[in-house]
Structure 1
Amino acid sequence: MESTLENPMITKSDKPQFSRTNPFQAKVLKNINLNGTDSSKETRHLELSLKGSGLSYVPGDALGIVPENDPELVASLIKEMGWNEEEIVSVGKLEETLPLKAALSTYCEITLLTKKILQQAAAFTENEELQKLILLENAGELKEYCYGRDLIDMLRDFGPWKASAQEIVSLLRKMTPRLYSIASSIAAHPDEVHLTIGAVRYTSYGRDRKGVCSVQCSERVLEGDTLAVFVQANKHFYLPESGETDIIMVGPGTGIAPFRSFIEERAVNKGTGRTWLFFGDQHAATDFLYEDELKKYQQDEVLTKLDTAFSRDSDQKVYVQHKMLEYSKELFEWMNSGAYFYVCGDKERMAKDVNDTLVTVIEKEGAMTRDEAEAYLKDLQKQGRYQRDVY
């Protein structure tokens, strides 16, 4: 029997096990903007190499990225407080020591505020406004203050501070990895993982804000650079065991990501089940993510049906749920004959609207009461035939 080990002296357990606590440095093979030049959005398609990592994944899994803070934001913070960037500070439970600039760049969460941070920071200032804000009866105002603000806002609003750099750093949480739905099938792209990341940029309280990881990927990660990554399994979002089972996928915007992996997997494994994708975004001309690929899959009959909703292309805003209603009879027929139904994307609005629309479709086409339709959908969920990957 042939040995599977490259070096007989190395056992499998000696090989590095890459994980959340020990991420793999994945080389960036490709980083392109999927949106057209006149789009108001920027969606990056990243291709990363997993060669030599031993990492694997299945469609539906997520990739974690351990990000770094924006160097401009870190510089502003150090300047604001008059700190020395070379000063050695300790971070975390293990009291790891790092120069201040490195700690603020790679270890500390500086773009999010919490109630706890403000409560603890109050010990380092006599600012009356902050002392008042942290009172129990002002819990609502405190929560509101935290939303959309960051560490610099707090330091500017509630000084003067009687705190060392170490004392402020000790208030901060460890940077959390950002999770993204994987947009590729490892069967189609051995040793690679692809992501679809929308760059988050907005203005609040008079300052421009940037998503920590999404803007790192769009502005500062070039081909040839590396990103610290790990695979996060998703036990609640997966393809049916049988390639003969029909699947319905609703994924507007970056919600398309896991469905690109589903479709690639079906293409490679020659699945015979029908596939139906609902995709939506703002403008067909600039925001139809993976358009050429999807149309090719349609031609090759890997993708049975593709229905799109571009909300800004008509006077009346059309969303994916409107398309579902348009095809309600067929949608119910697919579901009634065993199809799995998937939703990926925005939890606050889209997923809720899609869920309500699905109940309406079942109610109408199944000639049920609202309660019966909701029970029908709950039953689908119990069977694992209604799955959501929402954020």
Structure 2
Amino acid sequence: MSATQPVLAPIPLAEERRALLAQAVTGLDGASLWWISGYAAGLAQAQLAPQATPATLPKAIAPAIGTQAAQRLTIVYGSQTGNARRVAEALSQQAEAAGLAVRLLRADAYPQRELASERLLYIVISTQGEGDPPDDSIGLVEFLRGKRAPKLPELKYAVLGLGDSSYADFCGIASRLDARLAELGGSRLFAAGLADLDIETVATPWREQALNHARDLLKTPAAAPATLATVTPLRPGHAGAWSHEHPFPAELLLNQRISGRDFKGPRFGQHGAADKDVRHIELSLDGSGLQYEPGDALGVRHRNPAALVDGVLEALRLDGETAVSDGGDTLPLREWLAARRELTRLSRPFLATHAAHAQADELNALLAPAQNAALAQLFNTHQLIDVLRRWPAGWSAQELVAALRPLAPRLYSIASSRKRVGEEAHLTVDVLGYDAFGHAHSGAASGFLAAREEGDQVPVYIEANERFRVPADGSRDILMIGPGTGVAPFRGFVQERAETGARGRNWLFFGAQHFNHGFFYQSEWQDALRSGELHRLDLAFSRDQARKIYVQDRLRERGREVYDWLQNGAHLYVCGAIAMGKDVHTALQAIVVEHGGLDEDAAREYLVTLQTEGRYGRDVY
């Protein structure tokens, strides 16, 4: 047995099954092993119940089933970008260290039939867009909303929501789940936690409260340790050494504009209407040990633009060299604003504090619950600097740093396959630039990347996206819908399928405003068609004719064939803006109604089934 192969305790399996099991789990991380344990437990309970009892089971299995049926904490998480998963994993590790029987499950792996017998349940869930669930939670959320949801008079539960208060429906799905579980008869242990981008300020006390309740309810001795075991620091070059908190300094190899050969640079017009500046960026991961699969994202730790920092300081008449202490760190105000605080995304708490500082009745009125639509419009059109200029107010340097949210890394879909590009990661980046309220505006992270030159270092890490993967069965066909920079992961998908010799067909739907400026990777797609790496390509350029044509229109036009592909086992993927994702989903539902002969409710259920089966993946933002 090799040094890296896990040692398995005696189990009731034949020798060849043991070897297969050992091979399957070798090299997996903790999160993957936790998922497998919960998945296997669910399968066991489904096969053994109701006729099996601990007395009739093999000795190696009976204690585990008995523990599940008696005292157990179940933690379910729904995560779009990995934050909810990390919080749930931390709680699971703390609970296990405290001696609790605990299982950790991603929402789409949770056996819904077990909910009626659940006694202690913690849910950690992020909100996608305006109050929607993350994709891995759609099936569970629909189940809880539906008529099949059981009454839960014996359930005790708590919910932690992760969200972004720059959206009007902040942590919306968490709040609705919390209310729904109570409506079904569950007993809420304590109020739902609603965490903003500075997650740990809410998540840490929520976990402590959750752990205390679990220890009390499961009768764990008070003396049991509740701290995590000491972790040996990882050496540089080991993939685990790099994370969103400790990014790898990747060397920039290429920064190439791909938005049209005659593009002359940003020409600012109305908000959102600037000419496109889209970059193809190649970064070296050599020496990092980082690995990724097509569908994963690359996290980028950026700095805010110097011009934006100067604008905030000027608007508030503050000295950038003023020393400010916060959270144990002391830095000049300018550095806090450049590297530690969000300057382009607004939040409701900041607006409330600023309204008080400015004594702005208009701004206060927007924060009223009945004004969610108007507040959402403000979030969509104003950056921090716009609010400071529109409603002047006095702030001290210390107050400003305390009120602003921590600077969150940005995630970009990786546009390459390691099997083709080696120790590199490629990105497709839309550089935001527009004019609003008489001033030029730019995107913080996209502008940071656009300004990097070859040889510069970019702090990065890998964010896995397990639900957005090419099929393990290479004979399956795939349909990819990715307008604009949403095409990025599909470049990696096609490369991966070609390098692994997948026999299934690849069909891409791509859209942009104009053929001349927006057909990203045009020559690559044409080469892929000629070589057989890509089998079908449907295009939608919305502004090249009088009638606007979008990818959802092309889907409807090809509806019969799209439905036939799905019926024959094809996997479906959508990547791009949230609004586009909703329009595509509506088009898919209409296709299922028309060509599948189903009513609206059955068509919705059809698509939910595809999602829960892992055959309909979305990466929308």
Q: Same fold (TM over 0.5)?
A: yes
How far residue 357 of structure 1 moved from its aligned partner, in angstroms, is 1.4
Report Cα offsets for 1:149-204 as digits up to 9, x if no partner: 2333333344451x321221221111001111110101111110000111122333
Q: Aligned partner of 2:399: which letter?
A: E
Residue in 1 that maps onto 2:488: 257
1:32 to 236, 251, 256: 256
Is structure 2 residue 602 aligned with structure 1 residue 378? no
Deviates further, 255-264 or 11-20: 11-20
Q: 8 Å contact 1:28–1:46 — kept in the other structure?
A: yes
Residue in 2 that maps onto 1:68: 303
Residue in 2 that maps onto 1:8: none
Shift in CA distance, 24/340, structure 1 to aligned 2, threshold 3 Å = same
Shift in CA distance, 22/313, structure 1 to aligned 2, threshold 3 Å = same
The 2-side partners of 1:319 and 1:87 are apart by 51
Report Cα offsets for 1:78-99 as digits up to 9, x if no partner: 23333322222123xx321112
Residue in 1 that maps onto 2:235: 14
**Which secondary structure does the structure 1 equivalent of 2:234 belong to?**
helix
How far residue 343 of structure 1 moved from its aligned partner, in angstroms, is 0.7
Shift in CA distance, 200/166, structure 1 to aligned 2, threshold 3 Å = same
Residue in 1 that maps onto 2:436: 204
Q: 8 Å contact 2:316–2:393 — kept in the other structure?
A: no
**Which secondary structure does the structure 1 equivalent of 2:282 belong to?**
strand
Structure 1: any 5+ residue segments left out of the alignment? 5-10
When the two structures are superposed, what TM-score results if normalisation uses the length of structure 1?
Answer: 0.89
The 2-side partners of 1:363 and 1:37 are apart by 43
Q: 8 Å contact 1:149–1:205 — kept in the other structure?
A: no
Q: Aligned partner of 2:301: which letter?
A: V
Correspondence 1:186-197 to 2 at 5 A: 186-197=418-429
The 1-side partners of 2:363 and 2:577 are apart by 36
Q: 8 Å contact 1:283–1:310 — kept in the other structure?
A: yes
Cα RMSD after superposing both structures: 2.5
Report Cα offsets for 1:216-272 as digits up to 9, x if no partner: 222x11111111111001122111111111101011100101100100101111111
1:114 to 347, 353, 357: 347
Residue in 1 that maps onto 2:458: 227
The 1-side partners of 2:363 and 2:597 are apart by 59
Q: 8 Å contact 2:299–2:410 — kept in the other structure?
A: yes
Residue in 2 that maps onto 1:151: 384
Q: 8 Å contact 1:115–1:146 — kept in the other structure?
A: no
Q: Aligned partner of 1:26: which letter?
A: A
Residue in 2 that maps onto 1:278: 509
Q: Aligned partner of 1:29: which letter?
A: L
Residue in 1 that maps onto 2:576: 345
**Which of structures 1 and 2 has the larger relative contact order (alpha carbons within 8 angstroms, sep 6+)?**
1
Q: 8 Å contact 2:284–2:424 — kept in the other structure?
A: yes
Residue in 1 that maps onto 2:529: 298
The 2-side partners of 1:205 and 1:70 are apart by 18
Q: 8 Å contact 1:250–1:320 — kept in the other structure?
A: yes
Q: Aligned partner of 1:377: which letter?
A: L
Q: Aligned partner of 2:290: which letter?
A: L
Correspondence 1:306-345 to 2 at 5 A: 306-345=537-576
Deviates further, 247-256 or 233-242: 233-242
Q: How many residues align?
A: 379
Q: 8 Å contact 1:26–1:50 — kept in the other structure?
A: yes
Structure 2: any 5+ residue segments left out of the alignment? 5-231, 264-274
When the two structures are superposed, what TM-score results if normalisation uses the length of structure 2?
Answer: 0.58
Correspondence 1:68-147 to 2 at 5 A: 68-91=303-326, 94-122=327-355, 124=357, 127-129=359-361, 132-133=364-365, 136=368, 140=372, 144-147=377-380
Bigger Rg, which one = 2
**Which secondary structure does the structure 2 equivalent of 1:343 belong to?**
strand
Shift in CA distance, 107/306, structure 1 to aligned 2, threshold 3 Å = same
